[in-house]
């Protein structure tokens, strides 16, 4: 509490400098979240790795992030805000440089683990610091500015990284982050006030280890489930069993321990509990279209990479407009702002459900802007509603769980969506090919068949390819339907929270 007051009492110019430093730091980390996804083909060739082997560069980065994120509150109490932020950004910058210098698969995987672990506390600590710097009546504005890092960072990374990788090689996608990382480290070092440990407490090793094992098993399950055909694989069954058992042990220990690793008592706060559900849904819908659309457009609609990159980039334009709109929306009841933002995402999801493989680029660009606008509008009222009644002294711990669930929601929903695309595509392909027979009356009609034919092997091959395209498209439409339902559920869920609640102490 004393340090929160210290930050608020700093001169305005210094608070703005601190805010710029923490926003830059969190943007850098958010930029690296998806940057590796655009580099995997080049990295695979560089290291002569298989598809499964190169995927570990992303999987282990996510694992490290998931394990270290809940430790943010403990690390803050142990080292203090200034040392923690400067240390994390410094180590993150070094790891990013070493990722670019890696000469073997083992080296790139190791440094991606360090990068994920070092960067994990950055976003929750940056978000906490932004709220601590200003009084509650300014939280809407500063949350809007900070929220751009959550939405725009993962757009900037793949776009800029892809351009540099194409012009030079994949290593420059990592090197481009280093100068900004050095700048952020220096800014944090000189802008943040000196502080010390804040009543450090012993680490609850039982709670930490059981939660870490549960998160690691869950993330492995989500990352590898689609490749291994989910529960048809013995590995996935073992990971699911370990995750369930470890999470049960974590809950049992946390509900009986005097000083648990994470204070589950925070969930007694109604708005915070509702916010945890909402931020999980927000994570589910935030990146799903961005991840799914490129594979659809490249593999089945024949779009070039340059146009796909432009479509993804337009999401950033929508996000900027959405965050600009929250300067007004932030003054409303947060539940109304959430309903509006998720309502925009419902409309965008319904639009996606109406697309076909002949969709034009302009329509996709407009849809991407609309999705960016929706997620931009949601962030500020979501943050305000979640932390409105929570005592400021619990903010760092609560924020770490907030961002942890956002990341888990994203991993979970992307995995489920990809699984549905594959399942539905295979099922519909099987059903549609049953109709391709010489006795089918529809196929005997020249007006229906056009240039198609089933009398030759090339003709059958062409029809098979077209059936594959249409069957996969149905799978994508099913995934977009799941996305739309999740957005609609969030609207109803938002009204379970208290509207314009009175702020808690601090």
Tens digit of each residue's pLDDT (9 = 90 or more) over 141-153: 887 778 777 667 7
- Which candidate, 411, 381, 182, places its Cα nearest to that of 278? 381
Secondary structure (H, E, C), 310-335: HHHHHHHHHHHHHHHHHHHHCCCCHH
CA distance 246 to 217: 9
Q: With 60 as the cut, is the pLDDT of residue 500 above it?
A: no
Q: Outline where 102-138 has alpha helix (H).
A: 105-119, 122-133
Q: What is the pLDDT of residues 384-413, one digit of tens each?
A: 888 888 887 788 788 888 888 888 888 788
289 three-class SS? helix
Residue 63 has which token pair?
A: 């694992």
CA distance 138 to 135: 6
**Residue 233 Cα distances to 36, 225, 277, 353, 411, angstroms:** 27, 8, 30, 32, 19
Q: With 70 as the cut, is the pLDDT of residue 451 above it?
A: no
CA dihedral 16, 185, 153, 214 (to 10 degrees): -120
Residue 261 makes CB contacts below 8 A (sequence gap 6+) with 70, 74, 203, 204, 206, 207, 208, 211, 254
User: Predicted confidence band at 506 (pLDDT cuts at 50, 70, 90)?
Assistant: very low
Which segment of 160-164, 298-302, 349-353 scores lowest on mean pLDDT? 160-164
Q: What is the pLDDT of residues 334-381, one digit of tens each?
A: 899 999 999 999 999 999 999 888 888 899 999 999 998 998 899 889
**Whole-number percent of the chain with pLDDT over 90:** 21
Give the pLDDT of residue 501: 52
* Max avg pLDDT among 25-29, 112-116, 295-299, 356-360: 112-116
User: Predicted confidence band at 297 (pLDDT cuts at 50, 70, 90)?
Assistant: confident
**Whole-number percent of the chain with pLDDT over 70:** 89
CA distance 134 to 132: 6
The rounded Cα 110 to chain-centroid distance in angstroms is 22
| CATH 3.40.50.300, domain 1-203, yes or no | no
CA distance 192 to 199: 19
| Angle value at C-alpha 490, between 287 and 226, nearest 5 degrees | 40
Q: What is the pLDDT of residues 45-89, one digit of tens each?
A: 888 877 667 777 877 887 788 888 888 888 888 888 889 999 999
pTM of the model: 0.81
Give the pLDDT of residue 441: 66
Contact 418, 426 (CB under 8 A): no
CA distance 430 to 467: 9
CA distance 153 to 268: 33
- Which candidate, 378, 313, 383, 381, places its Cα nearest to that of 345? 378
Q: With 50 as the cut, is the pLDDT of residue 245 above it?
A: yes
Which has more confidence, 105 or 155? 105
Q: What is the pLDDT of residues 172-191, one digit of tens each?
A: 888 988 998 999 999 999 98
Q: What is the pLDDT of residues 259-284, one digit of tens each?
A: 887 788 888 888 999 999 999 999 88
| CATH 2.40.160.20, domain 263-506, yes or no | no
Residue 124 makes CB contacts below 8 A (sequence gap 6+) with 69, 72, 396, 399, 400, 402, 403
End-to-end CA distance of the chain: 7
Residue 38 makes CB contacts below 8 A (sequence gap 6+) with 158, 161, 162, 165, 173
Contact 243, 214 (CB under 8 A): yes
């Amino acid at each position: 509490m004393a340090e929160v007051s210290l930050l608020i009492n700093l001169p305005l110019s210094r608070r703005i400098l601190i805010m710029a430093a923490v926003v830059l730091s969190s943007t850098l980390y958010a930029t690296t979240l998806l940057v590796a996804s655009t580099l995997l083909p080049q990295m695979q060739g560089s290291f002569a790795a298989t598809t499964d082997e190169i995927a570990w560069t992303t999987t282990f980065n996510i694992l490290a992030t998931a394990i270290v994120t809940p430790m943010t509150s403990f690390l803050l109490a142990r080292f203090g805000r200034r040392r923690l932020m400067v240390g994390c950004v410094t180590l993150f910058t070094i790891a990013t440089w070493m990722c670019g210098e890696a000469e073997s698969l083992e080296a790139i995987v190791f440094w991606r683990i360090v990068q994920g672990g070092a960067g994990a506390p950055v976003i929750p600590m940056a978000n906490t610091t932004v709220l601590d710097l200003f009084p509650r009546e300014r939280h809407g504005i500063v949350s809007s500015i900070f929220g751009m890092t959550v939405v725009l960072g993962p757009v900037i990374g793949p776009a800029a990284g892809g351009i540099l990788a194409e012009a030079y090689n994949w290593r420059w996608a990592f090197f481009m982050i280093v100068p900004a990382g050095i700048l952020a480290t220096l800014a944090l070092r000189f802008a943040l006030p000196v502080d010390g440990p804040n009543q450090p407490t012993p680490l609850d090793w039982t709670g930490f280890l059981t939660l870490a094992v549960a998160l690691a098993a869950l993330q492995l399950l989500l990352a590898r489930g689609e490749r291994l055909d989910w529960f048809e694989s013995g590995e996935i069954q073992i990971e699911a069993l370990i995750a369930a058992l470890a999470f049960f042990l974590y809950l049992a220990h946390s509900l009986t321990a005097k000083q648990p690793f994470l204070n589950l008592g925070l969930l007694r706060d109604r708005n915070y509990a509702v916010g945890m559900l909402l931020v999980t849904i927000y994570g589910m819908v935030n990146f799903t279209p961005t991840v799914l659309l490129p594979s659809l457009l490249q593999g089945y609609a024949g779009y070039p990479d340059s146009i796909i990159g432009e479509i993804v980039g337009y999401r950033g334009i929508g996000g900027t407009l959405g965050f600009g709109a929250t300067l007004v929306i932030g003054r409303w009841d947060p539940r109304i702002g959430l309903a509006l933002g998720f309502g925009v995402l419902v409309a965008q999801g319904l639009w996606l459900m109406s697309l076909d493989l002949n969709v034009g680029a302009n329509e996709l660009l407009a849809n991407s802007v609309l999705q960016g606008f929706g997620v931009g509008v949601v962030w500020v009222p979501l943050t305000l509603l979640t932390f409105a009644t929570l005592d400021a002294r619990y903010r760092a711990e609560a924020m770490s769980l907030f961002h942890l669930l956002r990341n888990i929601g994203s991993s979970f929903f992307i995995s489920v969506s990809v699984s549905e695309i594959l399942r539905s595509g295979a099922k519909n392909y099987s059903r549609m090919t049953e109709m391709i027979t010489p006795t089918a009356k529809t196929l005997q009609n020249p007006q229906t068949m056009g240039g198609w034919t089933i009398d030759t092997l090339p003709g059958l091959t062409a029809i098979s390819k077209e059936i594959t395209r249409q069957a996969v498209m149905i799978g994508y439409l099913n995934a977009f339907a799941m996305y739309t339902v999740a957005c609609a559920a969030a609207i109803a869920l938002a009204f379970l929270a208290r509207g314009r609640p009175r702020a808690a102490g601090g």
